[in-house]
Structure 1
């Protein structure tokens, strides 16, 4: 099985460097254009199914990709949402650090996110046992999945960028797009 983990397109909070986390911030015009560009790149390969996070920025990105590929989004899974940043959502990192230091109230730990990301991707892959699966989700979620499955530190993908893996639940290997820090 091959999976493409696609980060949603740009939002105004991405542009302003604000932490979105589980806040439901919509795509902006650039983000919608990026989603279409991602769809064009994905169209070079065959895809059997597409699923997404429940947050609108990922859901709309998935809708744009699915329409371009002549598919329907099969599922919106809440386990695919971004890392929760708690009380600092909506703030820049500088504002969050100034207000709370490095312990942000309500923040999901990175280790917990890694466990959730691997479990969520594995569960989606098991439910949709196809050869080629697109999963539209979020940047830190994708990085956590990549870090957990490779045992290395990777970078967060850019908006609408895809990272591809081959394998099966519990045994994923990166094949394209993973960049080490």
Structure 2
């Protein structure tokens, strides 16, 4: 979907997923584990930053984990904006699932894994529910948006799962429907525009030619 057509004076939120990590390639559940970008991930961030800088963002807020901080730094370098870091934008805490591949999780926790894939509320590895992630992440975005001028653009640098739950919450969708939004590829983004009836989704998984979504929830 195109980002054209936002209401006059409406603000925009760009929710940008971090670049590639080794655990993304290995399909390991990262969660809140602090994993760095690969060299390819750094290059992804630089390419995406050049595109996002063209939007003339007014503010950047990011998760404080290394993979998001390094991604945000590329946009900050081009725009001169200072990045505000907030742990409320971290990825879903997934307890004992963190560090495991999806195959290992399915082998060790088959009932929990299949329930999650069916869309049931699951504390993956004893961690957070998706609604709890939205409870901490969406308010960070809302507070940041309130500081924007009319027509301003906020860039939120976060994680696949956290971005999906935040979009779902800001759009007023029921948690059970959030999975329908689909995942974000590394260093791709979604755009919400402010309309007279609230936020609406204007772009989703934008920024590149189609690529596999690696490690959506991390």
TM over 0.5: yes
Asked if the contact 1:39–1:69 (Cα under 8 Å) also holds between the matched residues in 2, the reply is no
Q: How well do the aligned residues superpose, as a CA RMSD in angstroms?
A: 2.0
- Aligned to 1:105, the other structure's residue is in SS state helix
Q: CA deviation at 1:121?
A: 1.6
Map Cα deviations across residues 40-80 of structure 1 (whole Å, 9 max, x no partner).
Answer: 1112211111111011100110001111223221x100100
Equivalent residue in structure 2 for 1:30, among 28, 40, 55: 40
- Aligned to 1:50, the other structure's residue is in SS state strand
Q: CA deviation at 1:31?
A: 0.6
Aligned to 2:88: 79
Aligned to 2:4: none
Aligned to 2:56: 46
Structure 1 CA distance for aligned equivalents of residues 52 and 111 of structure 2: 38
- Aligned to 1:136, the other structure's residue is in SS state strand
Asked if the contact 2:185–2:205 (Cα under 8 Å) also holds between the matched residues in 1, the reply is no
Aligned pairs for 1:28-177 within 5 A: 28-73=38-83, 75-103=84-112, 104-126=124-146, 128-130=147-149, 131-150=152-171, 151=173, 152=177, 153-167=180-194, 171-177=198-204
The unaligned stretches of length 5 or more in structure 2 are: 1-10, 113-123, 207-218
Structure 2 CA distance for aligned equivalents of residues 178 and 31 of structure 1: 16
Name which one, 1 or 2, has greater alpha-carbon Rg: 2
The unaligned stretches of length 5 or more in structure 1 are: none
Aligned to 2:5: none
Q: CA deviation at 1:162?
A: 1.2
Structure 2 CA distance for aligned equivalents of residues 110 and 4 of structure 1: 20
Structure 2 CA distance for aligned equivalents of residues 148 and 88 of structure 1: 25
TM-score by length of 2: 0.74
Map Cα deviations across residues 73-93 of structure 1 (whole Å, 9 max, x no partner).
Answer: 1x1001000011111101011
